[in-house]
Amino acid sequence: MKFLKEYTEVLDSTQGFRYFEGRAIIGFIDGTEAPAMEDAAPYAIIGDEDPDYINGSYAFAQKWRHDMDFWNKMKTEHQEKAVGREKFTDLELEDEDKYQNAHNVASQYDENGEEQKIIRMNVPYSDPATGVTGTYFMGYSRYWHVTKGMLINMLDQSDYLLTFSDILTGQLFFIPSRETLEQIADGEFN
Ligand code: HEM
């Protein structure tokens, strides 16, 4: 803040944490269908298609609050239908066994029949003083329209997660490449 306070006003500060086995706070393994770290670059980083912004990334952040009492009262079998995977084994359910608006159905975004992917790096958070508990969604994408397509599908299909969650904040950031940041620092970027 020593450097930033002159230019910024802090509205929220949220500390996320890693939950056991990398699970989301709703108890399910998060990130299974996201590309592995070694394959992440082509999904997260802008390429030759946009030479002015090459090696940058679109980072989208959303702070979600979950009604954990609602969720914890649901039987595991119903939670699994809502997420679309088995809770303990992480195996995917057959489509006919999922709710129609299961999260892993509603969040899918296809282009020309091909499923698109982004790099998802969610963290759980919880504030014992206020009891507010949720997920800080973080998604990095080479193309903003892919993340946006997932969000639109989730809203259009009333993703099950939305029945017990509120979306409290949302921001889209453009993360410049190191080269661009250096140009900005040197006053060479117009
Ligand atoms: C913030 C609350 C959220 C939680 C707790 C959550 C949790 C999960 C979990 C447990 C899975 C299944 C495992 C996996 O494949 O990663 C999943 C899948 C997925 N989520 Fe989320 N998610 C959240 C929000 C979002 C948002 C906002 C997006 C999109 C912008 C998103 C996009 C996806 C996608 C694309 C999949 C993979 C679907 C597939 O199987 O192909 N999620 N999420």
Q: Whose CA is nearest to atom 16 of ligand 1?
A: 31
Q: Which residues line ligand 1 (CB under 6 A)?
A: 24, 26, 28-34, 62, 64, 83, 85, 103-104, 107-108, 115, 120, 122, 135, 137, 139, 147, 150-151, 161
Residue 8 Cα to ligand 1 midpoint, Å, equals 31
Query: What are the tens digits of pLDDT across the range 94-151?
Result: 999 999 999 999 999 999 999 999 999 999 999 999 999 999 999 999 999 999 999 9
**Amino acid, res. 12:** D
Query: What are the tens digits of pLDDT across the range 17-73?
Result: 999 888 999 999 999 999 998 999 999 999 999 999 999 999 999 999 999 999 999
Q: What is the pTM of this model?
A: 0.94
Q: Whose CA is nearest to atom 7 of ligand 1?
A: 30
Residue 9 Cα to ligand 1 midpoint, Å, equals 30
Mutate to test the pocket of ligand 1, among 67, 80, 89, 103 (most ligand atoms within 8 A of CB): 103
How many Å apart are CA 9 and CA 169, to the nearest integer?
Answer: 15
How many Å apart are CA 66 and CA 30, to the nearest integer?
Answer: 15
DSSP-derived pairing of the beta strands 132-141 and 165-175: unpaired
Residue 169 confidence class, pLDDT cut points 50, 70, 90: very high
Q: Residue 81 corresponds to which tokens in the numbers above?
A: 């239908």
Q: Which of 12, 30, 48, 186 is catalytic?
A: 30
How many Å apart are CA 133 and CA 66, to the nearest integer?
Answer: 6
Cβ-in-10-Å burial (0-12, 13-18, 19+) of 18 comes to: exposed
DSSP letter string, 114-153:
EE---EE--EEEEETTTTEEEEEEEEEESSHHHHHHHHHH
Backbone angles phi, psi at 63, to 5 degrees: -95, 115
DSSP letter at 154 equals H
Beta strands in the chain, from DSSP E residues, in sequence order? 57-66, 110-111, 114-115, 119-120, 123-127, 132-141, 165-175
Residues 6+ apart with CB under 8 A from 53: 46, 174, 176, 177, 180
Q: Residue 151 corresponds to which tokens in the numbers above?
A: 């969000």
Q: Is 94 helix (H, G, I), strand (E, B) or coil?
A: coil
What is the longest distance spanned by two Cα atoms in the chain? Answer: 58
Query: What are the tens digits of pLDDT across the range 8-18?
Result: 999 999 999 99
Does residue 190 have a pLDDT over 80?
A: no
52 is catalytic: no
Q: What is the mean pLDDT of the chain?
A: 96
The domains located in the chain, with CATH, are 42-185 (3.30.70.1030)
Of all residues in the chain, what percent carry a pLDDT higher than 90? 95
> Ligand 1 atom closest to Cα of 28?
10
